[in-house]
Structure 1
Amino acid sequence: MSEKYKSREERKTATKNTKKQKKKKRNILKQIFLTLIILGIIGIVAGATTFFVLAKDAPPLDEALLKDPLSSKVLDKNGDKIYEFGVEKRTYVSIDEIPEDMKNAVIAIEDARFYEHHGLDIIRLVGAVIANFQEGFGAEGASTISQQVIKNSFLSPEKKLKRKAQELWLAFQLENKYSKNQILEMYLNKIYYGVGNTHGVAKAAEIYFGKSLSELELHEAALIAGLGQNPGMHNPFTNPDGAENRRNVVLNQMANHGFITSEEAATAKIVPLEESLVDAQPEAQPIEAFLDQVKLEIAELGDIDVYTAGLTIHTSFDPEAQSYIDELLNSNKVIEYANDEVQAGIALTNTKTGEILALGGGRNQSETKRRNFALESSNQPGSTIKPILDYAPAMEYLNWSTYEQIVDEPYTYSDGTPINNYNQKHLGQISLRTALADSRNIPALKALQQVGLERAREFAVSLGIPMEEQIFEPYAIGGTRSGISPLQMAGAYGAFGNAGMYIKPHAVNRVVYADDTEVKTAPSPEAVMKDSTAFMITDVMKSVLLPGGTGRAAYVPGLNIAGKTGTTNYSKEDREKYNISSKAVPDSWFSGYTPNYSIAIWTGYADNKQGLVGSEQKIPQILFKSLITYLTEDEEKPDFDVPNSVVKVAVEKGSNPAKLASEFTPKDQIVSEYFHKGTEPTQQSDRYMKLDPPTDININYDENTNQITLSWSYPKNSANVSFEIRESIDEGSYKVIGTTKELKYTINNPIPEAIYRYEIVAVSDENKENRSQAGLQEIVIPAKPEDEIEITPPDGEEEEPQNEDENPDDSDQDENDDSNEDGIPDIIVPPGGTNDEQTGENSQ
């Protein structure tokens, strides 16, 4: 019994413990739930409080602003108004005049639940948050039409969170005060649709299709609706493919939301885009090229519609410079253009500040098909990239001087592909100055290889030049995959002229918002290279405009200009495809600068199906010369400041490594070049230094060997000196008989009784023209000894012996004759040289 009882007690205890655990768990869950509720309430209260704090300063609704946006004024460098965004090209229409297809197209693509929400679309907001989390911030927006009306009417983007709170608060008020149709009417008359100052759907219908709203077809309404998010990208005149794709997206959305059937959408999508676009296009205004840059810079400040934001935009615009550029491009006063299709892009900036003074966007352009060639980065730079990617980095990282010697020779890329110079010739060892001035390709590639691709790329990017993550060796001569715009090029060259300080080219200096908030927008200078590098590459590029350089046509007497030319080539496939001459080029450039102005000019054809031939390739140089002459006509003409970090040295031409010129170096063999201080040459060249003559010359004759031996001393190291031996026999002319590196020379089998004279000259091995004075010596070769002479008496007679003590009978001899019949001299010169006392002559 006891065991059974114990078991019941245990079960009872276990049951009790289980109930306690369940109760405890319920209590914990209850506490968590209550905590979450409390936190939620706190969050709601905190969020609401924060929202109202941020929104409390929102401006009041102003019906005038809701219907008529605040225009934005653009001021030039003098503070004068040059343009006003948002005051032109607007035709206001009531909601009843707007076709259903037009309204439905905008709602489908911009705010599908417009008639269901009260200013905030929660479903769309959640979807946008998820999309931004998955794809990155900005992947999808969540603004409703009501919010966009508010944004485009009142607010500035000084603080995004605050602006968003105010935008939402005002959107709620807008929804309470106005009907959905009134709000939609405001939006459809307010939105910007591209092409100048085109606002509102009615004006868009006129600009793009030449129709009134009531005449629009479904596919046309869809195209206009699609322009709202990005009119530049979806402009049907300049980007027909992008516009057609966007139109079809709108049609799909209309079908998805039940505004049209799938069949109607399919029918509309097959209509060719160009079928209903207008043919007549208004002429573009030249100032629009500059205004394009203004809009780009305003867009960088935040989500601003410059046409409705009521801004006062202070710019660096120079109206006189712009007017002259317009004249250069659109008349034949300076250049006789081959045809109206020749295009050009010009960027003019201030070297010291980076301010954009004027832009030439192109020639003979219409407003609807306008391209801005000053800002387009679709063209390869050619040799204008060489200072940026090759030589300046070599100066910066390898301490190259303006004299650096490079061998221009047959060469290949690292993969074995041959590289050629423009004239298919090679100059051998040349200086960096010559290589750049004559635009040699092979030295440029060698420079890039020594710098390294990654360092060269980083250097170019620091100058505002766009480069992919990986570049390749053909970039050394301008064979880039992505192009460069004239404005980017002007900014990069401007850094060379500004002591290595890069300032991003900019048109806007400051912006004042409608609420008087002011923002300074001018970028700060950034040191991107040593001032020695900037000065030396500038000094080298001065040579481009001098005789021997490729940019001579841009030269202006009395003006300190540095610059570089550039051309590109067609591929073999393109030449064959478009039947293009082998002498034609698709792109021709000149980028140049003075201490005050930096100018980059591109010329070519818009479609690249026709090339520049002959003198047309000089157009950029001629345009530059005309423009820089105009700009500096009444100004001082300063030179670039020489920094303390460089040294100018007189170098002997051709010396490698560089050597200082000596007092004997010919003037035409001396070049003055710049070096980074501390890297200049210290050793003087002895190539032309007058050599000392040989000294202590001795001459000996050895009867036993019948040899003349010359020996001498030389006062200096004779390692780079040879000795030339010249001989004269019996007062004949001197002839070279040999050259030696030693301090002695032997002559075999001299003629007896002959007089031998010798000159010994020291000659430089490096320069054969560098010769010393001659060291002189002479010797008379003795006759053979008498015991070697055989005297044969006359036939039939015998020679009678003479008494040594008796004098021979010399009555038959001329008393002035000092020789015997056989011509043997009475005086024998002993070995060892002439006897000064006997001859009365000095052997030296």
Structure 2
Amino acid sequence: MEIVTNQRFRKTVKYLRALIIMGLIAFSIMVLFLIGIITYAKILGPPLLTVPQSTLIYADDGTIIGESHSGQKRYWVNLDEISPYLVDAAIAIEDRNFYEHHGFDYKRIGGAVLADIKAMAKVQGASTISQQYARNLYLEHDKTWKRKLNEAFYTIRLELNYSKEEILEGYLNTIYYGYGAYGVQAASQFYFGKDASGLTLAEASMLAGIPKGPSIYSPLASMEKARQRQQIILTAMEKNGTASKEDAAQAEKEELTIIGKHPHNMLVTAPYFQDAVRQALKYDLQLDERTIELGGLKVYTTLDLRQQEMAEKTMASLIDKESDIQVGLIAMDPKTGHVKAMIGGRDYEESPFNRAIQAVRQPGSTMKPLLYYAALEQGFTPSTEMRSEETTFFFDDHRTQYTPHNFNNKYANDDITMAQALAVSDNVYAVKTHLFLGEDTLVKTAKRFGIQSKMEQVPSLALGTSGVKVIEMANAYSLLANGGKKVHPIMIKRVENHKGEVIYESENKPEAVLRPDLAFVMTHMMTGMFDKKLNGYATVTGSTIAGEMTRTYAGKSGSTNSDSWMIGYSPRLVSAVWTGYDNGRTIELISDKTYAKNIWVQFMEKALAGTSAKSFKAPKGTIGVYVNPENGKLATDDCPVKRFTYFAKGTEPTEYCTDHLTDEDGSNAKTKKKNGDKQQNPWYKKILPWT
């Protein structure tokens, strides 16, 4: 009997020893396995925390004008920008031991298992905030062992590589709150119409209860169940010591106003401008489409909402609704190049083609200020005279010819000054100047003014026969408006990524490319299109809109058979307007030909309303004198019309006008000239015999 007992004891010890050894081996394997997982997780490094987020576009005053998303509203905010009530509520209800565990709450897991066994069903969850964040970031919400194992592995990687604050911030910014709202900022704006930083205890405790089941616990789905869930959360906060009993009771009674609307659901502000911004992000900043649309960018633009509204209202009020004429408009700050307003067409939904930055159209006479600036550099002055008469120019040993025509075939048949030629838009004067300077001069000058469109070296280039873009012409005129400093159109001031880091910021580096004195002389000449003192054989081209102006502007209009332009500026603002038909057909109606000028003047007046009527300031190196507009000579008391005109110092006229001095026979020099007295040919007659 004793022998049998000993044998049984030995067998028991043997099995127990084997069991212990097997247990130790299993434990060692498990420890090695865990060490291997942790090592592998450490080698892999931190997992990416990027999730699709809405990109927001802001006007220059910080107003949101655009948003891109994939049906999921996401706006990332830092942890310190989230109401502490919401942070405490989320921890209290989702993971009260969040700061104590390392990704897994084993006590909670054990309790959940026992509860499930007792109920014979899945009744209690045990996922920590870290686990939920891992699931939100990388995994689907299917209930498979593979998904659970992946979730555990990603949880380990998160805990190894990120702080608790980073994990909590990420969780609160990715969790779903229903109705397309992902993250606390989108949810706070949707349910309560405010930022997450401003949530009260009552609002935060209700919001924290929604993620458990948005279709059940959302106050929009059931206010009763939302209230019940809120009570549970407030009780949990009491137990956690993050809310007093009194505060919780008061929050429970608080009446809440539920908005139930996303703040920027329908954004139609400046759609052409927004498209242009997206194109700039893609091609200028070299960002890919996904980053632009879902990268959580904050794009701060130059758009002035007031000026944009003025531009759109002006266009809508002036153009006949039945007409299918189109419009392109750009308004810029000449000092910075910031684009303040943009119209790319009359209806974005009908045609998203942006005529302000994409269409290439003939600028007509709006090219003349660039030509005459080049002439000023070559010694011309506002008083330089040439003969205005129908002229045929021959080339290639008379094998080709070109005959430019003035509007309505009207000519002075006399000498006119450059200032008057510009004011009445004399085409013959322009072509003569162009040919005298050399056909390549205007091409090179246009490039200096920032025009990238190809220029043809032909006689008609002086009359704007080579196509350009509206934005190019607005930029070119900006150089004259700012005293000759190089600028380029800027629509984006700054771009921040989803972390708030600045990834792009525009720079304004003034660089002189024109002579300041000549830029000012040119500007002053361009005020002449509104000054009736420069009327001659034709009226100045801005006479029809001059009466609407309350301040000094410089500008130039232009027209071809199919294009109508008006470009002008004050010291504060440059705007360029083009009107015409997309198919390039001839503009025949008189009313259609006046749209560009009328839109321009009304927009400028409205855009600058309320600002001081700042005038152009003469720089050093210029001198102003009174001249007779007809001949450009110094005016005398006998001249019936005299105009104050600026010149580069040293080029001002020195000869006084004698046309109005009366002789004993009652005649004057001007009359004698008409009767046949010939003045000595000016210097350019030897070079330009056709003049």
Write out aligned runs for 1:157-556 (5 A): 285-299=268-282, 300-305=284-289, 306-329=292-315, 331=316, 334-337=317-320, 339-366=322-349, 369-388=351-370, 390-395=371-376, 397-413=377-393, 414=395, 415-427=400-412, 428-468=414-454, 470-480=456-466, 483-515=467-499, 516-547=501-532, 548-555=539-546, 556=548
> What whole-Å deviation, never above 9, does each CA across 1:732-758 have from its counterpart, x for those lacking one?
xxxxxxxxxxxxxxxxxxxxxxxxxxx
Superposition deviation, residue 593 in structure 1: 0.9
Paired with 1:653 and 1:80, the residues of 2 have a C-alpha distance of 49
**Aligned AA (1:587):** D
Partner of 2:608: 632
Cα pair 1:381 1:566 within 8 Å, conserved: yes
Which residue type is aligned with residue 678 of structure 1? G
SS in 2 for 1:526: coil
Q: Please give the per-residue CA displacement for 1:511-544, whole angstroms capped at 9, x wherever unaligned.
A: 2234514432244333221112211221122121
Cα drift, residue 639 of structure 1: 0.4
CA distance in 1, matches of 2:653, 2:360: 44
| Counterparts of residues 575-724 of structure 1 (less than 5 Å) | 586-609=562-585, 611-652=587-628, 655=631, 659-662=633-636, 666-668=638-640, 670-684=642-656
Q: Which secondary structure state, in structure 1, belongs to the residue aligned with residue 318 of structure 2?
A: coil
* TM-aligned CA deviation for residue 602 of structure 1: 0.9
Taking a change above 3 Å as real, the CA distance of residues 296 and 524 of structure 1, as seen in their structure-2 partners, is farther
Ranges in structure 1 where 5+ consecutive residues have no aligned partner: 1-55, 91-152, 155-172, 178-282, 570-585, 694-760, 770-844
Change (3 A) 1:351 1:612: farther
* Structure 2 unaligned regions, length at least 5: 1-41, 74-136, 139-152, 158-265, 533-538, 674-691
| Structure 1 residues 431 and 78: alpha-carbon distance in aligned structure 2, compared to 1, 3 A threshold | same
Deviation at 1:58, TM superposition (A): 11
1:84 shift after superposition: 2.1
User: Structure 1 residues 289, 60: closer, same or farther in 2, change over 3 A?
Assistant: farther
Amino acid in the other structure paired with 1:660: L
Query: Secondary structure of 2:419's partner?
Result: helix
Return the offset for 1:366: 1.7
Contact 2:455–2:461 (Cα < 8 Å) also in 1: no
Distance change in 2, residues 1:376/1:502 (3 Å): same
1:72 positional shift: 2.2
Q: Distance in 2 between matches of 1:684 and 1:324?
A: 47
Instruction: Decide which of 554, 565, 584 is 2:557's aligned counterpart.
Output: 565
User: 1:57-106, CA deviations, whole angstroms, 9 ceiling, x for partnerless residues?
Assistant: 999433x73xx42332222111232222335599xxxxxxxxxxxxxxxx
TM-score where L is the length of structure 1: 0.47
Query: Structure 2 CA distance, aligned partners of 1:629 and 1:653?
Result: 28
Structural mapping, 1:28-177, within 5 Å: 60-62=46-48, 65=50, 68-88=51-71
Q: Is the partner of 2:557 in helix, strand or coil?
A: strand
On the 8 A contact 1:342/1:604 being kept in 2, the answer is yes
Greater RCO structure (CA 8 Å; 6+ sep): 2
Give the % identical residues. Answer: 26
The offset of 1:336, in angstroms, is 4.6
1:595-625 C-alpha deviation (Å, 9 max, x unpaired):
1111111111222246341121101111112
The whole-number CA distance in structure 1 between the counterparts of 2:309 and 2:353 is: 19
Q: Decide whether aligned partners of structure 1 residues 88 and 668 sit closer, same or farther in structure 2, where only a CA change above 3 A counts.
A: farther
State whether residues 67 and 267 of structure 2, in contact with CA within 8 Å, keep that contact through their aligned partners in structure 1.
Answer: no
Letter of the 1:298 counterpart: L
State the alpha-carbon separation in 2 of the partners of residues 467 and 326 from structure 1: 27
Question: Is the Cα–Cα contact under 8 Å of residues 329 and 343 in structure 2 kept in the other structure?
Answer: yes
Q: 1:688 to 1:564 in 2, by over 3 A?
A: closer
SS at match of 1:528: coil
Give, in angstroms, the shift of residue 587 of structure 1.
1.2
Q: Describe the shift of the 1:661–1:545 C-alpha distance in structure 2 as closer, same or farther (beyond 3 A).
A: closer
Deviation at 1:467, TM superposition (A): 3.8
Using a 3 Å threshold, how does the CA distance of structure 1 residues 292 and 629 change in structure 2: closer, same or farther? same
1:426–1:58 CA distance, 2 compared to 1 (3 A): farther
Query: Match for 2:356: what amino acid?
Result: A
Distance 2:475 2:268 in 1: 25
List per-residue Cα deviations over 1:541-563 (Å, max 9, x = no partner): 21212332112333333311111
**Number of residues of Structure 1 aligned to a counterpart in Structure 2:** 430
Asked whether the equivalents of residues 516 and 619 of structure 2 are also in contact (C-alpha less than 8 Å), the reply is yes
Instruction: Please tell me the root mean square deviation across aligned C-alpha atoms, in Å.
Output: 3.4
Aligned with 2:579: secondary structure? strand
Distance verdict in 2 for CA 1:59–1:618, change over 3 Å: farther
Measured in 2, the distance between the counterparts of 1:340 and 1:620 equals 14
CA deviation map 1:407-457 (0-9, x unaligned): 112212444222211121221211112111111111111111122222221
Matches within 5 A, 1:780-799: none
> Which of these two proteins has the greater Rg computed from alpha carbons?
1
CA-to-partner distance for each residue in 1:604-661, whole Å, 9 max, x for gaps? 1222246341121101111112211211221111101111221112335555xx6434
Give the distance between the partners of 1:762 and 1:294, measured in 2 at CA.
68
In structure 2, relative to structure 1, the CA distance for the partners of 1:86 and 1:612 (3 Å cut) is farther
**Which one has a larger percent strand, Structure 1 or Structure 2?**
1
The residue identity in structure 2 corresponding to 1:636 is S
Could you list the per-position Cα deviations for residues 362-387 of structure 1 after superposition, in whole angstroms to 9, with x for gaps in the alignment?
113326x4211111232111111111
- Opposite residue 425 of structure 1, the aligned amino acid is K
**Contact persistence 2:66–2:269 (CA under 8 A):** no
Equivalent position SS for 2:401: coil
Conservation of the 8 A alpha-carbon contact between 1:380 and 1:568 = yes
SS of residue paired to 1:416: strand
Distance (Å, rounded) in 2 between the aligned partners of 1:407 and 1:546 = 21
The amino acid of 1:626's aligned partner reads Q
Q: Report if aligned partners of 2:310, 2:607 keep a CA contact under 8 Å in 1.
A: no
Task: Indicate if the aligned counterparts of 1:604 and 1:612 stay in contact, CA closer than 8 A.
Answer: no
- Looking at structure 1, the residues matched to 426 and 668 of structure 2 have their Cα atoms a distance apart, in angstroms, of 33
Q: Which amino acid aligns with 1:76?
A: A
- Match in the other structure for 1:127: none
